[in-house]
Amino acid sequence: MTTNGDDAVEVVPVRHVGRYVAAAVVLVLVAMLGHTLISKVPTGQTACHVSAGVPTCHQVSNWRFSWNIVFHYFTTSQVLDGLLVTLELTVIAMTIGIVLGMLIAVMRLSHNRLMSSAAWVYTWFFRGTPVYVQLLFWFNIAALYQSVTIGVPFLHITWLHINIVAFFTPFHTAIVGLGLNEAAYMSEIARSGLISVDEGQIEAATSIGMTRSQTLRLVIVPQAMRVILPPTGNEVISMLKTTSLVIAVGGVTDLLQSVTLIYSANYEIMPLLIVASLWYLIVTTVLSIGQYYVERHFAKGALRTPPPTPIQRLRTDLRGIAGKFRSPRHATIKAAS
């Protein structure tokens, strides 16, 4: 092949026919689904009204998804109260899970065999049984123990006395059940983070005279957070939805329970399930955004250049798309001799 010295040669990009076809199929499916969301269906009733002495009748049709009902219940106090209970359960159970999980992870990595075995058994038990069963178990715990007393045996010295029957209200049962179960998963997440930190970091901290607990707090944990956070975000989102299992203990009106109570009275099952789902989606979205920024904070020093925020990325993308429209379809390159 010969080239004419400095002349530019046209470059024709490959056409991806398969991709265009696949994209078209997806677009059609999305359009169909979109149509059902906003379409109306006849209810089988007719409504008539009289205008200027002439009666006119027409079929009554409703949104297929009953958006009017969804909208009506979306912000009723019953639903919002349920949402609040769900959020409370999530926050408290997750806090128990994270704190206890961290402790169990540190125990698991302890040089003391008894400590690490105890931690292993905890994880084994709470990961090995369904959380629903655990919730039922805590609900019925009074059948095994009526009260717990911590003190010196035989000496009538008591530091702590818990009346199990009084303590395990439905709400307490829910947070204990969810929190202890979560701790088992969080401990494995925390452990993976702790062991991901390079041994050299520990040696360096030790060499400047840090104690073991200082090394853990000031050097290992901050670096482990980078590994711990993404799966923890996952766990928070998972917990938000797992709280709906508190139906097992009864008497806790969370988001799902409150819509269940409403639809068992008015039989508008689908619209109310949509109400609950939309709220779960909204909270999950907010949590995901929060997670992104927390992760960014703990990524300090790990990457030479921190990744762009979604807003920065969106701006770059838009600029890129605009650039595509501006520049000619066929790029040209200088031909090499």
Partner 1 sequence: MSVPMVEAHGVHKSYAGVEVLRGINLTVERGEVTCLIGPSGSGKSTLLRCINHLEKHDAGELRVDGNLVGYEARGGKLYERNDKQICAERSQIGMVFQRFNLFQHLTVLENITIGQVKVRSIASEDATRRARELLARVGLDAKEKNYPSQLSGGQQQRVAIARALAMDPKLMLFDEPTSALDPELVGEVLDVMKDLAKSGMTMIVVTHEMGFAREVADSLYFLDQGVIEESGNPREVLVHPRSERLRVFLSKVL
Q: What are the residues binding partner 1 (CB under 8 A)?
A: 198, 200-201, 203-212, 214, 218-219, 222-223, 298, 300-304
Min separation Cβ 306 and partner 1, Å: 10
Q: Which is nearer to partner 1, 214 or 238 (CB)?
A: 214
- CA angle (292 as vertex; 286, 298 as ends), nearest 5: 135
Phi and psi at 51, nearest 5°, equal -125, 130
323 CB-near residues (< 8 Å, 6+ apart): none
Min separation Cβ 103 and partner 1, Å: 20
Min separation Cβ 199 and partner 1, Å: 9
The amino acid present at 302, given as its one-letter code, is A
Q: Which is nearer to partner 1, 4 or 207 (CB)?
A: 207
What's the CA gap between 112 and 294, in Å, rounded?
33
Q: Which is nearer to partner 1, 62 or 206 (CB)?
A: 206
Min separation Cβ 289 and partner 1, Å: 23
Min separation Cβ 109 and partner 1, Å: 17
Count H helices, E strands: the chain? 13, 6
First to last CA, the chain: 10
DSSP β-ladder status, 332-334 and 8-10:
antiparallel
Min separation Cβ 175 and partner 1, Å: 33
Q: Which is nearer to partner 1, 60 or 302 (CB)?
A: 302
CB-count burial class (<10 Å; 0-12, 13-18, 19+) for 156: exposed
Q: Which is nearer to partner 1, 49 or 304 (CB)?
A: 304
| DSSP assignment of 267-312 | --HHHHHHHHHHHHHHHHHHHHHHHHHHHHHHTTTTSSSPPPPHHH
Min separation Cβ 216 and partner 1, Å: 12
Q: Which is nearer to partner 1, 304 or 326 (CB)?
A: 304
Q: What is the dihedral of CA 84, 90, 95, 97, to 10 degrees?
A: 160
46 CB-near residues (< 8 Å, 6+ apart): 57, 58, 59, 60
What's the CA gap between 256 and 273, in Å, rounded?
8
Min separation Cβ 197 and partner 1, Å: 9
Q: Which is nearer to partner 1, 66 or 214 (CB)?
A: 214
250 CB-near residues (< 8 Å, 6+ apart): 139, 170
Q: Which is nearer to partner 1, 111 or 330 (CB)?
A: 111
